[in-house]
Structure 1
Amino acid sequence: MRAIVACIVAALLATAVRAAPPQTVVPAPATGAFDDTRRGWHFYDDPAKDEPVPRPTDMPPATRARPAPSTAVPPEVQALRDLQRLLEQLKSVAIMNPTEDNVRRYMALEIKLVKHASRFADVAQKVAWASPELDPTTEGRPVNAQALEVFEQVQMQQRASAIAELGKDHVLLFFMRGDCPYCHAFGPVLRAFSEKHHLQVVPISLDGGTVPGFSQARGDNGIAATLKVKQVPALFLAQPVNGKIMPVGVGVLAEGQLLERLDALRPRPGAPPATPMTTAASHQ
């Protein structure tokens, strides 16, 4: 019986083998030289003839190689940098090891740089003499004593004219005390300044006393606290039309100081108005 079963199984297997179609092995496509064992991995693939190699002019503007910016510096600049670097090195060596040779080398190089700077200063001075627009002494405050005296006289005259114009719609608020020696010293100065430049002064006494030059003073109605007057003599510039008040200074001021500060506070055409400290509308 077992022999019969074995014969039947063998016959079925033989029939299945004969009925199965032959299998065809399809090789995987080669993706490159590394996958082609016939050519080996040392092979270099040339581009296909039907695919032209892109030229730089055919590339988009963003991918074109841009020339590197020039980083070259003038030889004089590089020479100065080298000398400055060497000077710092020699100085460090001389400080850490102050032998005569080390100090001498540093001093010799320092003198060399000083000579270069001195020659530059001489040439720059000659250029300034020939070109007034490049001469700093011709602009602003002069350095010559005689020219400085003339400059200050002209400046004082200009400021005096400006202060006279300021007196048309401005007054000075003078806070003082009858027992203040500095107020007694400043009173006559302020009185003379007022008469000379036609600028009205409104004296305000904090204790009811008076000072020379201002025998009649107003009493404080609270404006001193509003302006935070803590020391006297104190001077403020006020514009009654709009009630603006700006501080001028505290203490005894000379005529030159008064001119300078009032000139700085006066309104100028085209310039933003000065920021007022407060308004005096409620203290008129």
Structure 2
Amino acid sequence: MVSHFKFYARTSCICLAFLFFTTQGVEGSFYQDKARGWFWYEDPEVEMGDDVQEVTQTQKDQNEKSVQTEVTTAPNYGEQLQKYKKTLEDKKAKALMSPTYSHVKDYMTAQKDMSDRASLFSEQWQRVVITTPALNPEVKNPTSHYISHVKKDEDRMARQAALARMAKTYGLFLFVSNNCSYCKAFAPVVKTFAEAHGFEVIVISLQGSVDADIESLFPSIWKNNGMAETFGIQSAPALMAYSAKDDDLIPITYGATSLDTLETNVMALMQPQEKDDGGENYA
């Protein structure tokens, strides 16, 4: 009985000692890393097996295929339009060549669909123009009657300013010939234009004397001393703009023309010269 008691006592002491050292190890771990706190939890590292890696790679391949499918399945509107037009033409040809009730009705239905699409396109176009100033020509060139005259007045004033500035650099050579009815009719137009914008005009007679009607309009009349040949003038009337400063000759018109056309020609032909010189564009 005593021996059994000693055996149990010894065994109990050994167990208590083992528990003591085990507890010390746990407590030591906490005190060594107490910043983690009581509730620190770390996920265990999971090693991906071959099966998991294969699934991941398969998913990646499927995603790439999905993206490629979206790109390749994007609608090709150009091809759709060509097919639509061809279908309409085929229905039209069938209705013309075989005008049965069903063929004509089929073509009329297709034509109505095209008309509806065109109407919708036109409506959307108008909405875009109204809501997008950069695409609205009415912003810079109004067509309303009560507004368009304002634009015309602005253009006229800008044109007059540009022509007056040109007159400071350029003079006009009017080539005429004797007994030329067109020269007599054109001379007053040139006179009006020159006085309106300040151009100096020199009349050059291709042959002989100048008609009295023309001579009464322009005091400066020169005889042809080879200038007509130099400038390539072969018939009259002809009007040239010349700048002694730049030694620049610009043909304005060959033959008689109206005052409006004369102004338009001068602006169109002389404006680029002004822009090259760094002037403003008044066109």
**TM bracket (short chain):** 0.5 to 0.7
Between 1:187-196 and 1:255-264, the stretch displaced more is 255-264
Structure 2 matches for 1:1-284, cutoff 5 A? 70-74=71-75, 80-139=81-140, 141-207=141-207, 208-210=209-211, 211-212=213-214, 213-214=217-218, 216-264=220-268, 265-266=270-271, 267-270=273-276
CA distance in 2, matches of 1:149, 1:203: 37
Is the 8 Å Cα contact of residues 235 and 249 (structure 1) preserved in structure 2?
yes
Name whichever structure is richer in helix by fraction.
2
Gaps of 5+ in 2: 1-67
**3-state SS, counterpart of residue 203 of structure 2:** strand
Q: How many residue pairs get matched?
A: 209
CA distance in 1, matches of 2:100, 2:235: 61
Gaps of 5+ in 1: 1-66, 274-284
CA distance in 2, matches of 1:128, 1:77: 24
Is the 8 Å Cα contact of residues 159 and 260 (structure 1) preserved in structure 2?
no
Report percent identity of matched pairs.
27
CA distance in 1, matches of 2:70, 2:239: 62
Offset of 1:217 from its aligned partner?
1.8
Offset of 1:68 from its aligned partner?
9.2
* TM-score (normalised: structure 2): 0.64
| Structure 1 residues 160 and 106, CA gap change in structure 2 (3 angstroms) | same
Is the 8 Å Cα contact of residues 173 and 204 (structure 1) preserved in structure 2?
yes
Offset of 1:99 from its aligned partner?
4.2
Is the 8 Å Cα contact of residues 239 and 252 (structure 2) preserved in structure 1?
yes
* TM-score (normalised: structure 1): 0.63
